[in-house]
């Protein structure tokens, strides 16, 4: 899966502030939704409502992990962690994906049971009201989280936003199930929609887990991004080419490393440094807040 690099220049301090605020906001919204849906489920006995409640409970668990992981990931590099603590974000995202898959499997089992043993839903109007409130709160949170992701490229905030987007979809599904049950008496709609929600939850969790795993394993940037790096380097007329390009992502940080080959084989070290600094500046425009290491291939015999 391709890495996402923002083109919006945001200071490290501002990124940290936005990420901390987003993690706190999601935790508050998540706890509020769990309380609302718990009351609604107890009154409606709807399986799709229960599926949405379980999803929200996992959202709170994930948001809690994010709340801690983000604050750790934003710590500056130290003697034991020379490359910083950014991988804490990817560890958080990977852990969240496993929790979500587990909840999806649980909901599938419950949905299959309810298909063969359907049960009536009560207090549909109250349930629909709770879901509409949940949708509004969730949409507000996701809108803000996507703004933060645009500014920071945070993998953990992106993962959290995916949780709540799934929650938004599940809330809509619950409303449909409650309406079909109350107006048409279709009790089968409740477990079927719960199964659809569960499938969507698992699909999103697998995609999120794969991205986090790739970052943890230091997977290279996408082919398009690597080509972008080469294009930026090669447009300098004093450059013959580059080799040994290595890239990886760690939380909100990206790391780029390569060797430069110069047209003038007798170029001085001072000239080579000046050219390298110019190329690094161009790369920073495309990949802001990247750690860029350029090796200069110079013939010191001349």
Q: What is the mean pLDDT of the chain?
A: 81
Residue 162: both structure tokens together: 């995916």
On the question of pLDDT at 245 being above 90, the answer is: yes
Each residue's pLDDT tens digit, 90-99: 787 788 788 7
Out of 216, 247, 263, pick the residue that ends a domain. 216
Estimate to the nearest angstrom the gap between the alpha carbon of 110 and the chain centroid.
Answer: 28
Does residue 272 share a domain with residue 210?
no
Rounded distance, CA 57 to CA 100, Å? Answer: 10
CATH of the domain at 287: 3.30.70.1350
CATH of the domain at 167: 1.20.1510.10
Does residue 238 share a domain with residue 108?
no
Does residue 203 share a domain with residue 125?
yes
Each residue's pLDDT tens digit, 223-238: 899 999 999 999 988 8
Rounded distance, CA 92 to CA 99, Å? Answer: 11
Q: Is there a contact between 84 and 252 (Cβ–Cβ < 8 Å)?
A: no
Residue showing tokens 């990931």: 73
Does residue 255 share a domain with residue 183?
no
On the question of pLDDT at 28 being above 90, the answer is: yes
For the chain, percent of residues with pLDDT exceeding 90 = 18
In a domain? residue 280: yes
Does residue 155 share a domain with residue 207?
yes
Residue 84: both structure tokens together: 């910083």
In a domain? residue 73: yes
Number of domains in the chain: 2
Out of 191, 216, 241, pick the residue that ends a domain. 216
Q: Give 245-248's long-range contacts (Cβ < 8 A, gap of 24+).
A: 246/220, 247/220, 247/221, 248/215, 248/218, 248/219, 248/220, 248/221
Out of 216, 242, 265, pick the residue that ends a domain. 216
Considering only CA atoms, which of 151, 114, 112 is closest in space to residue 15? 151
User: Residues 145-168: what's their mean pLDDT?
Assistant: 82
Does residue 277 share a domain with residue 149?
no
Which residues, 6 or more positions from 62, have their beta carbon under 8 angstroms from its beta carbon?
92, 96, 99, 100, 159, 160, 163
Does residue 149 share a domain with residue 58?
yes
- Confidence at residue 211, expressed as pLDDT on a 0 to 100 scale: 81
């Amino acid at each position: 899966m391709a890495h996402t690099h923002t083109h919006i220049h945001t200071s490290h301090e501002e990124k940290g502030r936005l990420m901390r605020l987003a993690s706190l906001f999601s935790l508050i919204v998540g706890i509020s939704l769990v309380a609302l849906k718990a009351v609604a489920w107890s009154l409606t006995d709807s399986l799709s409502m229960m599926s949405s409640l379980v999803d929200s409970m996992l959202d709170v668990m994930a948001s809690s992990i994010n709340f801690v992981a983000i604050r750790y990931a934003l710590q500056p590099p130290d003697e034991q962690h020379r490359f910083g603590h950014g991988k804490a974000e990817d560890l958080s995202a990977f852990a969240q994906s496993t929790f979500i898959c587990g909840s999806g499997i649980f909901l599938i089992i419950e949905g299959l049971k309810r298909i063969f043993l359907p049960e009536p839903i009560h207090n549909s109007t109250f349930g629909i009201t709770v879901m509409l409130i949940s949708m509004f709160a969730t949409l507000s949170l996701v809108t803000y989280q996507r703004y933060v992701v645009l500014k920071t490229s945070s993998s953990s905030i992106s993962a959290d936003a995916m949780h709540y987007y799934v929650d938004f979809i599940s809330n809509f599904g619950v409303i449909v199930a409650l309406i079909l049950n109350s107006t048409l008496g279709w009790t089968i709609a409740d477990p079927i929609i719960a199964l659809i929600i569960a499938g969507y939850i698992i699909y999103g969790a697998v995609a999120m887990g794969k991205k986090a795993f790739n970052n943890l394993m230091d997977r290279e940037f996408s082919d398009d991004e690597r080509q972008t790096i080469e294009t930026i380097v090669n447009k300098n007329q004093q450059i013959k080419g580059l080799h040994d390009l290595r890239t990886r992502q760690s939380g909100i940080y990206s790391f780029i490393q390569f060797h430069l080959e110069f047209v003038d084989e007798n170029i001085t070290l001072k000239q080579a440094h000046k050219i390298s600094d110019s190329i690094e500046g161009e790369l920073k425009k495309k990949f802001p807040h990247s750690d860029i290491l350029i090796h200069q291939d110079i013939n010191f015999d001349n």
